[in-house]
């Protein structure tokens, strides 16, 4: 039976930012239980999405990796519901939440060739997160494997007769991952992998496609180029060729995107944020960056494996494995 005032506490806490709620977990057992409950986490996630969506000053919130020329830089595989998937190679992948600092290392996927594409997203039909890796097999064939966080097991899903991917990281939109592909005849199209149906589809590009980039704008799949007057094609109705609409967007008409840069931190005692900084950008180069939402979602939710130790930094966790032969971290 709920205590008097419990509902009031929940109504107050649900309005707070994820980073503040993470600090309030140790206040008492009841608060920790509430803040980490699946119902609260999902409700808070929906509220946060709506806050960002109705923020007139914010274009989109995105995430990227701050690159260091003197380090072996990780790849950002993707982001979904506040979780980010990162790896130094596609055989060493990690999923973490930058705000709660929970980290989960995924099992190494079997090496079967040169990695040509990858992606990460949420399957709402199964309440599960999935990682996709495509590797070149033979001259012009790609073999795809998938791991779901619930199963924690890699499995083959499909082979494609194409291996020329214009985009390495899949763009997540409408529950599917997307890459621009070129076939042997020079025809461009979008390969879409539906995370719920677990199947590939071809999405036609507008007739005047000339090597543009794939991204997300106004919650629509888009292709775009770089110029002061930016030529952008928006797919107003998903997976309908006739819905591609050319839009000319001038920089002074664009909202600012807030880009959260994840950073390297090699000091175990460092308690600073995982984020190097958050910057506002008008440049269309960030339209291809994954969308990001600040959330309490845990990479261990509904997992079939025991949670691993929480690390201060997702990159420290990756580097520990990457430099496992060098005793430089004092673990």
DSSP letters spanning 185-212: T--EEEEEEETTTTEEEEEPPPTT--S-
Please choose, from the candidates 188, 152, 190, 157, the residue with its C-alpha nearest in 3D space to the C-alpha of residue 173: 190
Q: Which are the contacts of 1, defined by CB distance < 8 A and separation ≥ 6?
A: none
Dihedral Cα 263, 224, 160, 123, nearest 10 deg: 60
* Domain-embedded: residue 36: no
Does residue 299 lie within any of the structural domains? yes
**282 assigned to some structural domain:** yes
Look at residues 106, 102, 72, 80 and name the one whose alpha carbon lies nearest to residue 91: 106
| Of 278 and 272, the one with more pLDDT | 278
Q: How far is CA 118 from the centre of its chain?
A: 11
- State residue 324's pLDDT score: 47
Pick the more confident residue, 94 or 311.
94
Domain containing residue 113: CATH number: 2.120.10
Domain of residue 152, residue span: 60-322
Residue 6: is its pLDDT beyond 60? yes
Sheet containing strand 244-250, strands side by side: 213-217, 220-224, 229-235, 244-250
Structure-token pair, residue 80: 């979904």
Domain-embedded: residue 196: yes
Separation between Cα atoms, residue 125 and residue 144, nearest integer Å = 21
Query: Is residue 9 in a domain?
Result: no
Contact 308, 103 (CB under 8 A): yes
Mean pLDDT of 176-193: 86
Of residues 152 and 246, the one with the higher pLDDT is: 152
Distance (Å, whole) CA 75 – CA 161: 25
Length of the chain, in residues: 331
Pairing of strands 256-262, 58-65: parallel
Return the structure tokens found at 194. Answer: 């539906």
Listing DSSP states for 80-106 in one string gives ETTEEEEEEETTEEEEEETTTTEEEEP
Check residues 70 and 144 and name the one with the higher pLDDT: 144
Instruction: Write down the residue that tokens 């001259």 correspond to.
Output: 139
Looking at the chain, the whole-number percentage of residues with pLDDT higher than 70 is 75
CA distance 227 to 4: 59
Domain count, the chain: 1
Q: State the sign of the Cα–Cα–Cα–Cα dihedral 88, 90, 96, 97.
A: positive
Cα distances (Å, whole numbers) of residue 222 to 66, 130, 218, 293, 300? 24, 23, 9, 20, 32
Quick count: other Cβ atoms within 10 Å of Cβ 13?
Answer: 16
Instruction: Yes or no: say if 72 and 285 are a contact pair by the CB < 8 Å rule.
Output: no
Coil vs helix vs strand at 32: helix
Average pLDDT, the chain: 80
Residue 111 within a domain: yes
* Residue 51: inside a domain: no
Q: Would you state the pLDDT for residue 68?
A: 65
Q: How far is CA 207 from the centre of its chain?
A: 29
Instruction: Report the C-alpha gap between 238 and 264 in whole angstroms.
Output: 37
**Unique residue bearing structure tokens 């991952």:** 177
Decide if 261 contacts 66 (C-beta within 8 A): yes
Give the separation between CA 34 and CA 37, rounded to whole angstroms.
Answer: 5
Whether residue 229 has pLDDT greater than 50:
no
Residue 90 has pLDDT above 70, yes or no: no
Concatenating the DSSP letter of every residue in 237-298 gives: STT-GGGEEEEEEEGGGPPEEEEEEE-----TT--S-SEEEEEEE--GGGGGSPB-------
Within a domain: 274: yes
pTM: 0.86
- 75's enclosing H/E stretch is strand 75-80
The model's confidence at residue 5, banded by pLDDT at 50, 70 and 90, is low
pLDDT number for residue 147: 94
């Amino acid at each position: 039976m709920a205590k008097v005032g419990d509902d009031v506490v929940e109504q107050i806490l649900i309005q707070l930012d994820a980073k503040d709620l993470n600090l309030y977990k140790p206040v008492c057992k009841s608060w920790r239980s509430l803040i980490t409950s699946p119902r609260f986490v999902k409700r808070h996630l929906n509220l946060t999405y709506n806050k960002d969506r109705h923020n007139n000053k914010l274009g989109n919130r995105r995430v990227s990796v701050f690159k260091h020329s003197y380090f072996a830089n990780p790849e950002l595989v993707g982001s979904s519901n506040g979780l980010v998937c990162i790896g130094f190679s596609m055989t060493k992948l990690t999923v973490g939440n930058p705000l709660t600092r929970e980290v989960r290392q995924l099992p190494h996927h079997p090496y079967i060739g040169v990695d040509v594409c990858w992606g990460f997203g949420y399957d709402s039909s199964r309440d599960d997160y999935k990682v996709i890796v495509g590797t070149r097999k033979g001259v012009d064939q790609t073999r795809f494997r998938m791991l779901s966080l619930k199963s924690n097991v890699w499995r083959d899903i499909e082979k494609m007769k194409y291996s020329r991917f214009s985009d390495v990281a899949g763009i997540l939109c409408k529950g599917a991952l997307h890459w621009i592909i070129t076939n042997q005849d020079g025809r461009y199209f979008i390969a879409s992998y539906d995370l719920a149906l677990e199947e590939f589809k071809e999405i036609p590009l507008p007739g005047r496609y000339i090597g543009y980039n794939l991204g997300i704008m106004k919650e629509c799949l888009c292709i775009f180029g770089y110029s002061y007057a930016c030529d952008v094609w928006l797919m107003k109705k998903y997976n309908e060729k006739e819905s591609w609409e050319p839009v000319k967007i001038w920089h002074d008409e664009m909202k600012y995107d807030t880009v959260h840069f994840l950073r390297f931190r090699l000091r175990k005692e460092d308690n600073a944020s995982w984020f190097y900084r958050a910057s506002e950008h008008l440049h269309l180069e960030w339209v291809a960056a994954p969308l990001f939402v600040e959330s309490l979602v845990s990479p261990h939710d509904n997992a079939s494996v025991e949670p691993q130790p929480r690390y201060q930094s997702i990159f420290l966790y990756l580097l520990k494995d990457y430099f496992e032969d060098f005793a430089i971290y004092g673990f």
